[in-house]
Amino acid sequence: MATTNDIKNGTVLNLDGQLWTVIEFQHVKPGKGGAFVRTKLKNVLSGKVVDRTFNAGAKIETANVDKRDMQYLYRDGDDFIFMDTVTYDQLPVAATTVGSASDYMLENQNAIVATHDGSPLFVELPASVVLEVTYTEPGLQGDRSTGGTKPATLETGATIQVPLFLEAGTKVKVDTRDGSYLGRVND
């Protein structure tokens, strides 16, 4: 158990049997009445975001979430197999838990896997990754102007929008949070 004074960004709370991560928090002391803490919480499993207010000093239950640096090894049916880089223990993570992160994961890539009582909660990738474009329509002479985009398939199978001048075989930097193109990477 903790109090509202212990709330920080990234803290995981156990509310009504569900796990919620604190995205934002603000201690408010109005001129009249008691102080309170305004929070924005994200459900760890569903991703739903809600606003919740707690009275200052109220007892809240925190959850022990273990975040470990792991290496993605391979896919086995519906599971993604991760290996702890310290203990070399392997952990199968269901495809539903990995979610959209699978669009930007290559074998042997590192990621953070969060677990609660041994069961995986979510997979956190670095903010950006470098992936190769495997297919896109060929660029035409004069496609160097700004603004235009076209779909491109990455080596993971995901499709993103890239500038018109990019060709297959080009390595690009991709934002793992929203799948946006961040730039070309020269070898």
Structure tokens at 83: 């290996």
| Angstrom distances, CA of residue 65 to CA of 12, 113, 116 | 7, 10, 5
Range with the poorest average pLDDT among 35-44, 122-131, 141-150: 141-150
Cβ within 8 Å of residue 7, ≥6 positions away: 13, 22, 25, 37, 39, 54, 60
Q: Give the integer Cα–Cα distance in Å for 176 and 101.
A: 7
Domain 128-185: top CATH class: mainly beta
* DSSP code, position 57: T
Q: Give the integer Cα–Cα distance in Å for 160 and 181.
A: 7
Backbone angles phi, psi at 96, to 5 degrees: -65, -30
pLDDT at 11 over 60: yes
Query: Looking at the chain, which residues constitute the CATH 2.30.30.30 domain(s)?
Result: 2-60
Query: Looking at the chain, which residues constitute the CATH 2.40.50.140 domain(s)?
Result: 66-124, 128-185
pLDDT at site 187: 66
Cβ within 8 Å of residue 180, ≥6 positions away: 160, 161, 174
Convert the pLDDT of each residue in 37-61 to its tens digit.
Answer: 999 998 887 778 899 999 988 898 8
Please state the rounded mean pLDDT for residues 18-41.
Answer: 88
Structure tokens at 19: 């796990």
User: Which CATH code of 2.60.120.10, 2.40.50.140, 2.40.110.10, 3.40.309.10 fits the domain covering 66-124?
Assistant: 2.40.50.140
Please state the rounded mean pLDDT for residues 80-97.
Answer: 89
Burial class (CB in 10 A: 0-12, 13-18, 19+), 39: buried
**CATH number of this structure's domain 2-60:** 2.30.30.30
pLDDT at site 139: 67
Place 140 in a pLDDT band, splitting at 50, 70 and 90. low
Q: Give the integer Cα–Cα distance in Å for 47 and 42.
A: 6
Convert the pLDDT of each residue in 59-72 to its tens digit.
Answer: 988 888 888 899 99
Please state the rounded mean pLDDT for residues 69-98.
Answer: 89
